[in-house]
Structure 1
Amino acid sequence: MAPVARSFSRLALSCPRQAASRRTTFLQTHQPCSTFNQQRQQPFSAASIQLAPGSETQESGSAALDTAIPPDLQREIKQEIRSSIRELRKQVRDVVPMPPRYRTGFWSEGEKDDLMTQVEDGDDVFGEDDMTSMAHAELEEHRELREYARIAAWDMPSLSALAKPFTLPPQTHILRFRQTTYLGETHPAETKVVVELCSKDLTPKYLTEEQRITLLKLVGPRYNPDSDIIHMSCEKFPTRAQNKRYLGDLVNTLIKEAKEGDSFADIPLTFPHHKPKKRYIFPEAWKVSEKNQKQIEEARNQIEDIMAKKGIVDGNEVIAQAAKTIPALGSMGQLAAQTVTVKKGPKARGPKGRN
């Protein structure tokens, strides 16, 4: 930055030296005679305002300087100024870089953008014979999915040759560790390790029954009385191996404390943290046995036989059969067959018929 300023100052100082001889003619000013200009001046008028001494000379001097410098030299000065400004801006940009602009999502709430918005379109001039860079990125993702589909179709079945039959773990493997792996992403819970052990597996090889009760009092709410499982987890360390080692040392410390420490015999073993679930016992009489199933099938067959014998129901036949069997229905039939005499005329119609 220093050489640029030095060259610019030398060029600026050389211009007044070249025009020093020409400035004397332009700096001479003539004051008009006051006797011929005795007009009345109004207050706050333009004529009443007097400029400060030296202002007219400064303006005339700058105008004289502009007219004294030849056009070629003015053009050269302007070009030199522009090039100096460009170099200064470049140096400032290199020293203080601009911070990158990161997108925070379409709604500016920090949500994740899809692949189409993460890839910049780097095509300067787009031709009609090709796809955009975002379309190529989408096609690349499709190729990756097809590659995994081919692996699942052709390579995965060959893994069946490496399958081994399941065998129960030996009695020495008491601790059961569990950890979660998140494929394709980093998750804060992937370093978490969980250990489970059954308290009855510790007796009688490692602990006695009294020591086992002491161990249950030490673990407190981490014990489930329904399943007899002690559940503990750790995620305070950055790696899984460290968390697993910490849980193993913690189990050894608890067993040692149950053996050598206080037995807490005066404290009862209670489980206020555990709420037992209600288990409904299904009645034995409701269970379907072979004998009950045969009885149900016989009852269904009888109903089907009765429905098949009846066929289509005839209403007239049902009424006639009911009239023969029920005497009340027979007397009603005789009353319905009797004829009743009705008088003619408006008197027989009643009060409504007259109107």
Structure 2
Amino acid sequence: GSAARLSALASQVCAVSPVVELAVEPLDTSAGVGFGALVRGFSIRSALGRGLDIGSREAASLRQAVREHGLLLFRGQSDASDAGTGLSCDELVAFGKCFGRGHLHSAHRVHPKVAHEDVFRVSNNPDEGCFEEGGVGTGGFHSDGFFLPNVYSNAVYQIVRAPTGGRGPTLFADYARAVERLAEEAPAELRRLRRLQAVCDTSGVVHPLVHRHPETGAEVLLLGGIAGILEVFRGGSAQALMAEGAPPETFASREDGRPKTRESWRPLSSFVTLGAADVAPLVAVRRLEKEELRGLMQRLQELLSRQDLHYTHQWQAGDVIVTDNLAVAHKAAKDAGDLSCGLRVLHRVTVAGAHNIE
């Protein structure tokens, strides 16, 4: 009943300063999505005015909340005094610095409409923000900063102009729950995914498709712009690696700690006939064919698109969202780039990652 809900809510209210309490409650979604939370009664502008920064107790409480829930939604962060445009760029940047290690990073160009290098402004109108045909970020679920060895730890999104009627939403998906689903439904596929290393299409940085979240320890996916995928078999004899599924023609080398040269690599099958004295563990590497890669990416995108794994956020004026960028993937809906839906302007800041996932 309502009394039980109030009691449960009260148990989550944490006193984070003598002035303000942080009230966090799970997002109300009909699909039973198991991540995301609404922060009630919290004014970002007021918090900054009373000293919210990376070292404050309020910021520590916010970091704990986003670590626990993956996504925090703050409603009503605009008022009549700023004509509904919400936080200024300086305020958004200051708020973003309360997360991760407190350092921001952006690799995108700065649009003339904003005066801060850390603010990425996107729009369905090129005069109003950075623009791509089909919409920025609509290609599939991904994490920002995938092209870096240290993927961004957090992202903060602020809607500046929201299309009417809930058009142009952003979708968020739970990486950890996706891995749990694979463990339940396709354990063999998950074992294979743990062997895969994704090569970024812009930087050549290599990331595991499945890794341990550096703070929560949860096993999570990691997706972004992928040019190719390497399947890596390691730590066994040639016979053991082939039993795992490594094709005999896969190139292999000894895991002996020595620098690798072209001559270090030869077909895995050539190691089968070696004598017992040559027992150094092997590593074998193959690159997925284009059709394999395309099929794998389609399956992962379909997995994250399941109703119980993703949350569709229909933007309202004054909305601000903070995500754990290593726990939650995101993408813009296809109509986010369609100006006929109404002008859409979004500001985003990204927090520099503290953990090398390369």
TM-score class, shorter: under 0.3
More helix by share: 1
